[in-house]
Structure 1
Amino acid sequence: MTLKMIAPLVMLLAAPAAAQTFDLEALIAAAKAEPPITIYDSTGKIVDMAEAFTAKYGVQATGEKVSANSQLEMLIRESQAGNVQGDVALLTDTPAAMAQLLPTNILESWVPGDIEADIPEGYRNPLAISTNANVWVYNTEKYSECPVTNIWQLTEPAWKGKIALIDPLTKGTYTDWFNQMATHGGDKIAAAHQAQYGKPLETDQASPAAAWLAALAANGPLMADGDDRISEAVGAAGQADPFMGLVSSAKFRDNADKGYKLGLCSGLDPWVGWTYTKLGLIAKGTDSPNAARLFIHYVLTEEGIMPQMVDGKIPTNSTIALPADEPSGLSAHLGALFNYDAATGLDDWETRQDWQDFWQLNHKR
């Protein structure tokens, strides 16, 4: 196929989805005529994923590990300079993308027509390729089962100073979680209080979520700057009095790699953990729109997302199941996760500072 023959395909594939029938072979052909692409992602797995994509399709791609915060800065700067370097962004800061990158036409969301029906509607606009889970964990060497069955127990004296989690002042996904609970999770938090104490929740706080968070913060949790410290505080072997903690499900690999004893707090009322989404977005100024779209299509397939699934990342494509040997065992408890709802993502963005102030005000060391 010549470049002249491919040119109409590029125009066709750039047309609105409603005006075309998705054609994967045409997309591949058009992508091969374009310059190489670069994909930004916050995990180093993107390097291998890009190499596998290149080997599969003959479309040159390079993966670069870039933190979510750095992605935001780089993408804005590149767009303003008219010098796009990152053609695809796999971005875990959904509220920032919704507030800063999509409305300003720095990035765009595109959903492949042949996969769209398999992605729940709430993950289509903007497109999320996966959900990432943070889960409550305990030390299986110390306890035969999770020592906590209700999140309100984490606010009690028995766990004072013995809970570890990432400092909400350093990671926006945590204050997003706070706001999501206040917006969508109040009934379940209040019901958990009723179940634990046999009486309705009475509080001066603005919501059941705020009441629980204030009590948790006042119980003196250990603040960490990353999951590694929490994984060690909870899971390191030989501890007489280990912490409980909240970590990425990906840290369960530490059990094999470091001999840790992390266990998932299955059965925790009302949730074993919570999720945030990883978006798959395309730079509006890319010289390779079809190659970028082909990569988006690729990461929505089992083959494409598998390197991240083994770390417990949950694909939004509902036809894909987590691997049976995924170390956290999360696949048996997906229904017990508090899932992120992008419908209120802009509110999460606008209230981040409020929730940081709230946490600082209530946190006791």
Structure 2
Amino acid sequence: MNRSLKTSLMAITALFGGANLAHATPTNLPALIQAAQQEGSLTIYASTGKIVTQAKNFSKKYSIHAIGVKAKAPQIIEIMSREAKAHNVRTDVALVEDTPAAIVQLIGSGAAMSYLPAGLKHDIAKRYQNPLAVVLAPNIISYNTAHHRHCPITNIWQLTLPQWRGHIAMQDPTAKPAYTDWFNQMATHYDAQMRQAYRQQFGKALPANSSSATALFVKRLAANHPLLTHSDTDAAAAIGSPDAKQDFVGIISSAKFRKNKDGMKLGICNGLKPFIGWNYPTLGLIASGTHHLAAAKLFIHYVLTQQGIAPQSVDGKMSTNQQVKLPANEASGIGKYRHQLMVFDINTAKSDWQHRQDWQDLWNLSYMQ
């Protein structure tokens, strides 16, 4: 079989879950643990530094040498892709925050595959099963609690009003794909809610020349010249500094609320219509050519448990396992408002990938006005 045909077949089987069938590993947990302990070591990549702790905890629990490595999503995808092409796989597992890119570039190429632990199938919503998302990262519209008793905005369209011009802090959508994916998800699944929110805010229907409420929102938000930052840390500092002279609202990760214990004044815009932010999924993927398949599967199972996700859940990141709850000491309190977050639909992630440049172009053109 020539290499191109082999690669095509790998891609097809990976997309439909068939890649999992090519490897015989135990399906029950005790037997999987025993098989994993006979395989040696495990290397896991993720975009969070918490992966180092997660790997150490996994090693301690199962007596399997595991190394956690922090890297950005594009780096992880490039590493796994290169290893697959070279038939020299060193990375066993990856937790990839860029869902659309991972689906297209890793699963689609056959470099990685999705694995759903059979024993957890009924605890994970179907929309997160194929491919498997292991954790959801809340991105929350926030305000300064020292300036306001309650969030100063009640409708997401208020971010486009003149009084907030230059006073919205967020990462640059042209540098952070999660934002353009959010725009595309809104346009694909929530445009009706955005239309309704427009009517609620302005007392009239969307302009007749606007076919997409989301596109109009993105245009007006960009034209309102938000303060664009290189990180959520910078955005959080603009929003929640206790001695801030200027009043900002903005969009940040729930992880930044841990800064409140150091004096920051970040609050969640609870009740904001039509949603208070969105949950961005992280995929749990196994390298198709791994030499430690049982251990890789065991780690995927582990990260879906309360103990496995604990280092991330203290930052408000939510397990897709519905039996796993956020800890009481989680700083933001997002668990109480989870139902107000926009739900990301993995089934249309390829569309998010295909339209990233379109949303970036719309943003850039509108921001320059």
Q: Return the TM-score normalized by structure 2.
A: 0.92
1:28 equivalent in alignment to 2:42: no
2:348 is matched with which residue?
344
For 1:245-276, what per-residue CA distance to the aligned partner results, in whole angstroms no more than 9, with x for missing partners? 100010001111x3110011101011110111
1:116 equivalent in alignment to 2:121: yes
Identity %: 48
1:194 is matched with which residue?
199
For residue 317 of structure 1, the aligned residue among 314, 321, 325 is 321
CA distance in 2, matches of 1:33, 1:327: 40
CA distance in 2, matches of 1:191, 1:329: 27
Report SS of the residue matched to 1:338.
coil
Task: Say whether the 8 Å CA contact 2:20–2:113 is kept in structure 1.
Answer: no
Unpaired runs of at least 5, structure 2? 1-18
2:44 is matched with which residue?
39
CA distance in 2, matches of 1:249, 1:68: 19
Alignment of 1:70-109 (within 5 A): 70-109=75-114
1:222 is matched with which residue?
227
2:359 is matched with which residue?
355
Report SS of the residue matched to 1:169.
coil
For residue 277 of structure 2, the aligned residue among 269, 273, 278 is 273
Report SS of the residue matched to 2:348.
helix
Instruction: Report the CA distance between 1:240 and its aligned residue.
Output: 2.7
Q: 1:197 to 1:47 in 2, by over 3 A?
A: same
CA distance in 2, matches of 1:72, 1:195: 42
2:337 is matched with which residue?
333
CA distance in 1, matches of 2:78, 2:176: 16
CA distance in 2, matches of 1:178, 1:359: 10
Instruction: Report the CA distance between 1:101 and its aligned residue.
Output: 0.7
CA distance in 2, matches of 1:254, 1:85: 36
Unpaired runs of at least 5, structure 1? 1-13
1:169 is matched with which residue?
174
Task: Say whether the 8 Å CA contact 1:35–1:287 is kept in structure 2.
Answer: no
Amino acid at match of 2:54: M
Instruction: Report the CA distance between 1:203 and its aligned residue.
Output: 4.7
CA distance in 1, matches of 2:56, 2:240: 34
CA distance in 2, matches of 1:15, 1:170: 34
Report SS of the residue matched to 2:193.
helix
Task: Say whether the 8 Å CA contact 1:21–1:113 is kept in structure 2.
Answer: no
Amino acid at match of 1:85: R
Q: 1:361 to 1:206 in 2, by over 3 A?
A: farther
For 1:34-74, what per-residue CA distance to the aligned partner results, in whole angstroms no more than 9, with x for missing partners? 12011000111111110010100111100000111111111
CA distance in 1, matches of 2:38, 2:26: 21
Instruction: Report the CA distance between 1:173 and its aligned residue.
Output: 1.1
1:130 equivalent in alignment to 2:135: yes
Task: Say whether the 8 Å CA contact 2:170–2:227 is kept in structure 1.
Answer: yes
Task: Say whether the 8 Å CA contact 2:33–2:295 is kept in structure 1.
Answer: yes
Q: 1:288 to 1:21 in 2, by over 3 A?
A: closer
CA distance in 2, matches of 1:341, 1:43: 22
Report SS of the residue matched to 1:293.
helix
Report SS of the residue matched to 1:56.
helix
Task: Say whether the 8 Å CA contact 2:144–2:265 is kept in structure 1.
Answer: yes
For residue 215 of structure 2, the aligned residue among 201, 210, 217 is 210
CA distance in 2, matches of 1:351, 1:35: 42
Q: 1:293 to 1:151 in 2, by over 3 A?
A: same
For 1:269-304, what per-residue CA distance to the aligned partner results, in whole angstroms no more than 9, with x for missing partners? 111101110010000111100000000000011110
Aligned length: 350
CA RMSD, Structure 1 to Structure 2 (Å) = 1.6
CA distance in 1, matches of 2:188, 2:346: 12
Report SS of the residue matched to 2:198.
helix
